[in-house]
Amino acid sequence: MRAPVLAVEELTKIYRLTDWRAAKKEIRATDGITFQLYRGQTLSIVGESGSGKSSLAKQLVGIEPPTSGRILINNQDLAKVARKERRKAFQKIRMVFQNPHSSLNPHARIGATLEEPLKINSKLDSKQRRELVAEVLKKVGLRAEHTQRFPHMFSGGQQQRIAIARALILDPEVIVADEPLSALDVSVQAQILNLLMRLQEELELSYVFISHDLGVVEHISDQVLVMYRGQMMEYGEVDQIFDAPKHPYTRKLLSSTPSYRNTVKILKKTHTREFKDKAAVSSGCPFAARCPYAKQQCIESRPEVHNIDGQLVSCHWPLESNAEG
């Protein structure tokens, strides 16, 4: 197969907290995450809040340096790039944030916001920059005259279009979108999702799409990576994950998502007790405390990653495809 546009190897980020009671704590925000993303494809990262999705996104675009592990774009290791080349390397991977209202500068006109990356990263003169801005605005469904306006003069959906335009303006290959729909109204979400899909086809973009909305994920993705407490639980093609989840956590996520035309009966009382999540599960499987199938081994040792027909599952006892939850 072709080389991946983006390859992530054993990405780990450890935050060290210094407690005033002198006990030092380590938080593994991402723990050994590995994946590959190919041109024109979408990889979705799903998981509950606190699972490390956003931390992963920040590392991908260079906001936070990873503690260990590698991020390769077109086979180029981002950590090893010479300082002078760094900016250039990161032009290939751009980010769209969750809330456009807070990710756009309220004091800057849209034109200025969109021109800024060009000023920093290119040698274009102001006329060329303006032309490029007008072009990219058209791509996202806005008009060139919008450059003179301020962010507050736009609706949430339009603001998100501007944020997407800002990510596009340096002609990236990968876009990392961290919950790009969750701040938007339902009827506007569909517009933005359609826009993302159209842009992907036109520009052969690859997306790392972070979301907790499994319906959207199923709609847009090629591959899905399920995270829990910083670790990969399951990683595979979208059909594999949604039709035959092999990890108990994936199954739990799927069965808790209501869907009005779903074949899976939801809201079943399988496991309604809230477990003490904080019970330190450092050595074993992170999901063991909530897993209905957990056995002694799950608490004692961390499961290996099983490869079942290309679907990666991190579980001692991966579920049979047709096993009853």
Partner 1 sequence: MSLLHIENLSVEFPTHKGYVRVLDKVSLRMKEAEVLGVVGESGSGKSMMALAVMGLLSPNARLTADYMSLNNQDLMKLSGEARRQFVAQNASIIFQEPQSSLNPCFTIGAQIRETLKLHGVRQRRKQQEQAIELLNAVGINEPETRLRQYPHQLSGGMNQRVMIAMAVAARPKLLIADEPTTALDVTIQAQIIELLLDLNRQHGMGLMLITHDFALLSESTQRVCVMYSGQIMENASTRNILESPRHPYSRALLESIPHIGERHHKGQRLYSLKGIIPAIDHLPVGCRLGPRCPRASKECVKTPRLETIENHGLVRCHFPLAKDSLAKGSEL
Closer residue to partner 1, CB minimum distance, 264 or 323? 264
Q: Is 2 in the site for partner 1 (CB under 8 A)?
A: no
Under rule CB under 8 A, residue 27 binds partner 1: no
Residue 75 touching partner 1 (CB under 8 A): no
257: contact with partner 1 by CB under 8 A: yes
Chosen residue from 171, 185, 204, 304 binding partner 1 by CB under 8 A: 185
Q: If binding is defined by CB under 8 A, does position 153 make contact with partner 1? A: no
Angle 198-203-205 (CA atoms, 0-180°, nearest 5)?
A: 85
Q: Compute the least distance from the CB of residue 290 to partner 1, in Å.
A: 8
Per CB under 8 A, which of residues 225..254 are in contact with partner 1? Answer: 242, 252-254
Which segment (10-18, 84-92, 166-174, 192-200) binds partner 1 by CB under 8 A?
192-200
Q: Does 283 bind partner 1 (CB under 8 A)?
A: no
Query: Given the complex with partner 1, which of 134 and 183 has the nearer CB atom?
Result: 183
25 forms part of the interface with partner 1 (CB under 8 A): no
Residues that bind partner 1 (CB under 8 A): 48-49, 155, 157, 185-191, 193-194, 197-198, 200-201, 212, 214-216, 218-220, 222, 242, 252-264, 266-267, 269, 272-274, 277
